[in-house]
Amino acid sequence: MRLDLDGKTALVTGSTQGIGRAIAAGLAAAGARVGVNGRSPESVGRALAELGDGDFVPAPADVTTAEGAAAALDAVGDVDILVNNLGIFGARPALEITDDDWRRYFEVNVLAAVRLTRSVLPGMRARGWGRVLYIASDSAVVIPAEMIHYGVSKTALLGVARGFAKEAAGSGVTVNSVIAGPTHTGGVEDFVYSLVDKDLPWDEAQREFMRRHRPQSLLQRLIEPAEIANMVVYLSSPLASATTGGAVRVDGGYVDAILP
């Protein structure tokens, strides 16, 4: 299978580290021109240095605002592939999640993606080709007791993807969400150590976290960012032309269901 993205331009939000950076690298390796997004020119510059070879475009902007979204799109130009990867997460007891917390999670995890989709979808339809992807989470289906605000925001993304897929029906544009399972990133390392003994070596801490907090994982380890990126690159390619309106799982078997 040749995942040929030559001539395509992508924007990956929140792509200076973790899953987003792996997605940017994967899309570029398949031939796409990729906008790398972070909130500051400094963070984007560091990511570009680490990404190395590839057709990358710096797109520093806070895409949680209308002005920032417009700035990122201006930096990249016409977008053929939009990957809504930006997201925040954090543990908090359910009864301590404030109204402001709920608003912030929806602004960052949901509305930023909706705003960007609204901006790029008309152009994709006019050109007769496009890909819109939302990086969701197993937490969208299995709401974690320690961060229900995060889980619910990811549940919303599944509905957003399905709705926009209907809006794009018959146009040559596909819209999907990717349900990522527990993934090994720097932020997740901090999260793991917030729940297990901070003195444990990383390999032991990871195993303890999976045993205590994610026991239903069939993979029984954290997923590597490149493994999420592989699915995103496929869904972004012409080979995935018949996959739209879906919630595609890269969760290590974490969600105990046949369908999401």
Q: Please state the three-class secondary structure of 174-186 as a single string.
A: EEEEEEECCECCH
Q: Which residues are catalytic?
A: 150
- The arithmetic mean of pLDDT across residues 32-49, rounded, is 98
Same domain, 45 and 86: yes
Residue 1 pLDDT > 90, yes or no?
A: no
Mean pLDDT over all residues of the chain? Answer: 96
The helix/strand/coil state of 35 is: strand
How much is the pLDDT for 221? 87
How much is the pLDDT for 29? 98
How would residue 58 be classed by pLDDT, with cut points 50, 70 and 90?
very high
Number of structural domains the chain divides into = 2
Q: Is residue 253 part of a domain?
A: no
Same domain, 144 and 202: no
Which CATH number do you get for residue 17?
Answer: 3.40.50.720
How much is the pLDDT for 252? 95
Same domain, 199 and 238: no
Q: Is residue 65 part of a domain?
A: yes
* Residue 198: domain span: 184-222
Q: Is residue 191 part of a domain?
A: yes
- The arithmetic mean of pLDDT across residues 193-202, rounded, is 93
pLDDT in tens, 118-157: 999 999 999 999 999 999 999 999 999 999 999 999 999 9
CA–CA dist 163, 18 (Å, integer):
28
Q: Is residue 39 part of a domain?
A: yes
Same domain, 205 and 118: no
Same domain, 73 and 195: no
Same domain, 168 and 193: no
How would residue 186 be classed by pLDDT, with cut points 50, 70 and 90?
confident
Listed as own residue / partner, the contacts of 39-43 with beta carbons closer than 8 Å and 24 or more positions apart are 43/16
- The arithmetic mean of pLDDT across residues 5-25, rounded, is 98
Residue 260 pLDDT > 90, yes or no?
A: no
Residue 33 pLDDT > 90, yes or no?
A: yes
Q: Is residue 260 part of a domain?
A: no
Same domain, 121 and 230: yes
Same domain, 85 and 198: no
- The arithmetic mean of pLDDT across residues 230-256, rounded, is 97
How much is the pLDDT for 191? 82
The helix/strand/coil state of 214 is: coil
Report how far apart, in Å, the C-alpha atoms of 50 and of each of 18, 19, 45, 127 are.
Answer: 12, 14, 9, 33
Same domain, 15 and 95: yes
Same domain, 93 and 190: no
How much is the pLDDT for 220? 85
Same domain, 73 and 14: yes
Give the whole-number percent of the chain exceeding pLDDT 90.
Answer: 91
Q: Is residue 147 part of a domain?
A: yes
Same domain, 83 and 206: no
How would residue 209 be classed by pLDDT, with cut points 50, 70 and 90?
very high
Q: Is residue 1 part of a domain?
A: no
How would residue 188 be classed by pLDDT, with cut points 50, 70 and 90?
confident
Q: Is residue 216 part of a domain?
A: yes
For the ranges 18-32, 88-102, 176-190, 221-235, which has the lowest average pLDDT? 176-190
